Structure 1
Amino acid sequence: MSSIEGKVIAITGASSGIGEAAARELARRGAHVVLGARRTDRLESLAAEISAAGGSARFRALDVTSRADTEAFIGFAVESFGQVDVIVNNAGSCPCRA
């Protein structure tokens, strides 16, 4: 298995739950993580925690229901780190809630 150290990983839904846990673990393993979600206050705190622990993280507001916003998020990742190696599509919206 190849190492994820140095890989650029964009994570949607990174402000809580699985996305947040994935961001912490991937950064701990040496990946550059780009965090996206609607709750930027939580993203800011998470990015600061990752950086304080020696990791590499950037964040940007993201609404995955908007194609333009999603494209801008990936553009931000490329601007920040020069490329994107992996996208973790963790966020989603379902209009079919009961």
Structure 2
Amino acid sequence: MADSHAHHLQGRVSVIAGASCGIGAATARDLAARGAHVVLAARITDVTRLDDVDGLMDFAASEYGPVDHLIVSTT
């Protein structure tokens, strides 16, 4: 990444559901390369259940601070 925005996400917190493959995995790699703290959730997290999403967001916030991005890339 040669452009001047390569690390413009430094310190931001991104949560990605569906990060085990495909677009979710590629997005996770890209955000991490740009400096974001990336919290990954795969098949064990059911994004249709509010309790699962709340738990994921609470975990991310307790580890890294307030969540800046939530990306859902599930099928």
Interval containing the TM-score (normalised by the shorter chain)? 0.7 to 0.9
* Higher relative helix content: 1
| Identical residues among aligned pairs (%) | 46
1:14-93 aligned at under 5 Å gives the runs: 14-38=19-43, 61-92=44-75
Taking structure 1 as the reference length, the TM-score comes to 0.65
Q: Normalising by structure 2, what TM-score?
A: 0.83
Shift of 1:81: 0.4
| Alpha-carbon distance between aligned partners in 2 of 1:62 and 1:69, rounded to the nearest angstrom | 6
Greater relative CO (CA pairs within 8 A, separation 6+): 2
Moved over 2 A (4+): none
Cα distance in 1 for partners of 2:33, 2:27 equals 10
- In structure 1, the gaps of 5 or more residues are 39-60, 93-98
Amino acid at match of 1:72: G
Distance 1:88 1:30 in 2: 16
- Over aligned residues, Cα RMSD in angstroms? 1.7
User: Aligned pair count?
Assistant: 70
Cα drift, residue 35 of structure 1: 0.4
**Residue identity in the other structure for 2:45:** L
Instruction: Using the TM superposition, give the Cα deviation of residue 65 of structure 1 relative to its aligned residue in structure 2, in angstroms.
Output: 2.1
